[in-house]
Structure 1
Amino acid sequence: MKRRQFLAHTSALAVGASSVALISHASAQNKDDAVVVGCTAALSGPLGSLGMGMKAGVDAAFSQINAQGGVNGRTVRFDVLDDAYVPARSVENVRKLLGDSNVVALMGCLGTPNNAAITPVVEEAGITHLAPLTGAASLRRSDFRHLFHVRASYTDEIQRLVGSLVSMGIKDLAVVHLDNPYGREVLEDAVKAMTQVGIKAVATVALATDGANMESVLAAIKQAKPSAVLLGTAGAATTALVAGLRKQSTMLPIAGVSASLTQDGIRQLGGLVQGVGLTTVFPDPWQAKHKLVRDYQAAMTAMGARTFDSGSLEGYVNARIMVEALTRAGKGAGREKVRQGVASIRNLDLGGFSVDYSPAAGRVGSKYVGLGILGADGRLKV
């Protein structure tokens, strides 16, 4: 992401100025013979669209695999329980899933506070949790034997983002972060990254997860007069925040981590997203030059999707890795065999995106971080 591109896109804008189960049945084959992968995620609430996007990608991948005969001759199914981004509900959901002997692993449980709440339960139960939807460094401890991350960490994303902004000469940064464990961890990463390059934030402002204090947040940013705003936010609150910042000044550069804006939020904002910079931790879902993306697009199209986005691509990628692990675990394998299957993956190339769970990788499959700028059409220009 170059300064000229980032600021040009922004300038162009100025001119135009109780747990509810949602079960995925990807195949009509005998349900009792299915290999079941469980998940707790927000399918409603402030991060509902993020959870639904992830689920759509997983469903597409499993449907594609099942059409080819499944895994070791068995259908694979994704069972998701809605927690509405409430950690206590996440714990309830995981306990329910653990009580089902057909659930051989967890995948894609969403949210930093939610994963912090469920991880002790996961570790005690000894069940694999592949690809938690969080980049929190606090959840990447070596003693968490059953957590296998796919995406790069928020620390990696923030360092890349801050470094890029500073290299453009943009140094008076304000940070808006969610007022929860996720947001506070991103803020901590941002402060450290800025300290490393010799700058200090002109303002750090906490935004309620439901956006209830939006007016005071916008006022604080306006008073600080930053050169750019860095987003440590996620979900519906980000959508309203970006709209409010654009109302104050269409010229103010805005940039955030990959979790900041959902595809739903991008659609709601319309042309207001033009010029917003975002980190990326997966390939561009529209770049069909990668075999992985072509496979993803074919799977989504087969499910009736008319558009592609990073959230469903992440779900698709995670599901493909899970299928590889299940295949390695063998027919009829239990939870420990699935953990061994994931741990045995070395430099798995999915067609433009690779993951590696060798001991040196520390159970983090990818370190890839890219940068892009959203165009008026809502697509990232990288």
Structure 2
Amino acid sequence: MTALWKTWGARCALAFGIAAAALPGAQAQLLVGQTVGITGSAAITVKESMLGASLYLDHVNATGGVQGQKIELLALDDRFDPQLTLENARTLIEDKGVLALFMTRGTPHTQGIIPLLDKHGVPLVGPSTGAMVLHQPVPRNVFNIRAPYQREVEKAIAHLALLGVQHIGVVHVDDTFGEDGLAGAQKGFQANQLKALFVEKFDRAKPDFSAIAPRVRSREPQAVIFIGTGAAVVSGIQALRAAGVGGQILTLSNNASGGFVKALGEQARGVVVTQVFPSERSLNYPVIKEAQGLAKARGLKELTPAMVEGFVNAKVLVEGLRRAGPRPDRVRLHAALEGLSKFDVGGLELSYSSTDHTGLDFADLSIISTDGRFQR
């Protein structure tokens, strides 16, 4: 078991702990912070994305680190609570002095720490959110890697329209993430000369679908786009099915994890999940082949989309640290990241500039098969 994975388990046991990811006996010298919902409604996907990141970070440390320096990942559990995200970020930046933050999760969570990032000039690499507000206007210290949610939703609606599906409803969480996804849906409807059959929203902190599900059933949708996170989406899909909703259900890439499929149980089959990285089984992409090799060496049977996201994010972080020189600081790391141009992540090309921090523009669709896999 690797150091990062062991610390993940330790944090779960402590509920709100701090731990490091250095190799045994090695003193970490490049300190990176993470605040993420290790517990809470996003935990099932967070677990897998962190494992994917650890595959690459542990590999780098085991082969000499970055210019002889080990990478230490200091993680705090924010329980998927935006207020705790802010408190944790402040601790990591002001008290622990991290070089960068890495792979936060949640739209309001990430939005809330931007003033703190800007105040201290701390880069955030690979937030696990595709909110457009993190792309335009360009936040100086946020370096996105995944494509925007709006692109995912537009692609999903275009696919449905191509199949002749016209009666499409939207159920979304009532926060900035949900609003962003809804904006993408409206663009998708407009581009395909359609209108939303209905729009329903639910509370992020206390999701309740007892009233929403019957209303959705009464509209007899051919498809429902479900915008939300983890446990809430699982509960919502189960409620819709229990109410007799029989149309196609689609959700976004933030739910692309094996844990999400397992939590859905019998209701998983046939759910469409948008994706922002290549298939975890596509050996045509060198990055997937590399991740599969490291996963096999770790004793893991297979990758999941969330693990791929963590792996790719870690590769970009490490490249930034490498280009920041032998004595990196926040300023040098920012300059190194912003100077990445046509960086080959492994079959995926990523570029940043002072006017573009979007990263990748990859979007695809998958469907959960009878064996619980994401089929492209």
Is TM more than 0.5 here? Answer: yes
SS of equivalent to 1:110: coil
Alpha-carbon separation, structure 2, partners of 1:113 and 1:81: 17
Indicate the residue corresponding to 1:380 in structure 2.
374
Aligned-residue offset at 1:60: 1.5
Alpha-carbon separation, structure 1, partners of 2:273 and 2:39: 24
Which of residues 23, 26, 33 is equivalent to 1:30?
26
Residue identity matched to 1:55: M
Alpha-carbon separation, structure 1, partners of 2:168 and 2:227: 12
Deviation digits for residues 85-125 of structure 1 (CA, Å, limit 9, x no counterpart)? 11111111011111246511111111001011111111111
SS of equivalent to 1:215: coil
Deviation digits for residues 280-322 of structure 1 (CA, Å, limit 9, x no counterpart)? 1001112233221121122233344333211121111000111
Aligned-residue offset at 1:47: 0.8
SS of equivalent to 2:17: strand
Indicate the residue corresponding to 2:8 in structure 1.
none
Residue identity matched to 1:20: F
Alpha-carbon separation, structure 2, partners of 1:28 and 1:379: 35
Please say if residues 128 and 254 of structure 2, whose CA atoms lie closer than 8 Å, have aligned partners that are also in contact.
Answer: no
Alpha-carbon separation, structure 1, partners of 2:207 and 2:141: 36
Q: Does 1:188 align with 2:183?
A: yes
Q: How does 1:156-235 map to 2 (within 5 A)?
A: 156-209=151-204, 212-235=207-230
SS of equivalent to 2:359: coil
Please say if residues 234 and 262 of structure 1, whose CA atoms lie closer than 8 Å, have aligned partners that are also in contact.
Answer: no
SS of equivalent to 1:259: helix
SS of equivalent to 1:62: helix
Alpha-carbon separation, structure 2, partners of 1:331 and 1:231: 46
Which of residues 118, 135, 141 is equivalent to 2:136?
141
Alpha-carbon separation, structure 2, partners of 1:93 and 1:101: 10
Alpha-carbon separation, structure 1, partners of 2:73 and 2:290: 19
List alignment gaps of at least 5 residues for structure 1: 1-17
Please say if residues 20 and 72 of structure 2, whose CA atoms lie closer than 8 Å, have aligned partners that are also in contact.
Answer: yes
List alignment gaps of at least 5 residues for structure 2: 1-13
Q: How does 1:1-382 map to 2 (within 5 A)?
A: 20-31=16-27, 33-100=28-95, 102-209=97-204, 212-249=207-244, 251-359=246-354, 362-382=356-376
Alpha-carbon separation, structure 1, partners of 2:144 and 2:201: 27
Aligned-residue offset at 1:246: 3.0
Aligned-residue offset at 1:130: 0.9
User: Normalization by structure 2: what TM-score?
Assistant: 0.91
Aligned-residue offset at 1:26: 4.1
Deviation digits for residues 170-217 of structure 1 (CA, Å, limit 9, x no counterpart)? 111110111222112211221232123221111111123356412112
With over 3 angstroms needed to count, the CA separation of the structure-2 counterparts of 1:62 and 1:300, relative to structure 1, is: same
SS of equivalent to 1:124: helix
Alpha-carbon separation, structure 2, partners of 1:96 and 1:367: 33
Alpha-carbon separation, structure 1, partners of 2:280 and 2:138: 34
Please say if residues 329 and 341 of structure 1, whose CA atoms lie closer than 8 Å, have aligned partners that are also in contact.
Answer: yes
Please say if residues 46 and 209 of structure 1, whose CA atoms lie closer than 8 Å, have aligned partners that are also in contact.
Answer: no
Alpha-carbon separation, structure 1, partners of 2:357 and 2:15: 30
Please say if residues 239 and 261 of structure 1, whose CA atoms lie closer than 8 Å, have aligned partners that are also in contact.
Answer: no
User: Normalization by structure 1: what TM-score?
Assistant: 0.90
SS of equivalent to 1:76: strand
With over 3 angstroms needed to count, the CA separation of the structure-2 counterparts of 1:210 and 1:219, relative to structure 1, is: farther
Task: Count how many residue pairs are aligned between Structure 1 and Structure 2.
Answer: 363
Please say if residues 59 and 78 of structure 1, whose CA atoms lie closer than 8 Å, have aligned partners that are also in contact.
Answer: no
Alpha-carbon separation, structure 1, partners of 2:266 and 2:370: 5
Alpha-carbon separation, structure 2, partners of 1:381 and 1:61: 25
CA RMSD of aligned residues (A): 1.9
* Further displaced range: 78-87 or 142-151: 142-151
SS of equivalent to 2:55: helix
The answer to which structure, 1 or 2, has the higher relative contact order (CA under 8 A, 6+ apart) is 1
* Further displaced range: 332-341 or 46-55: 46-55
SS of equivalent to 1:283: coil
SS of equivalent to 1:205: strand
Alpha-carbon separation, structure 1, partners of 2:340 and 2:157: 32
Residue identity matched to 1:145: R
% same residue = 27
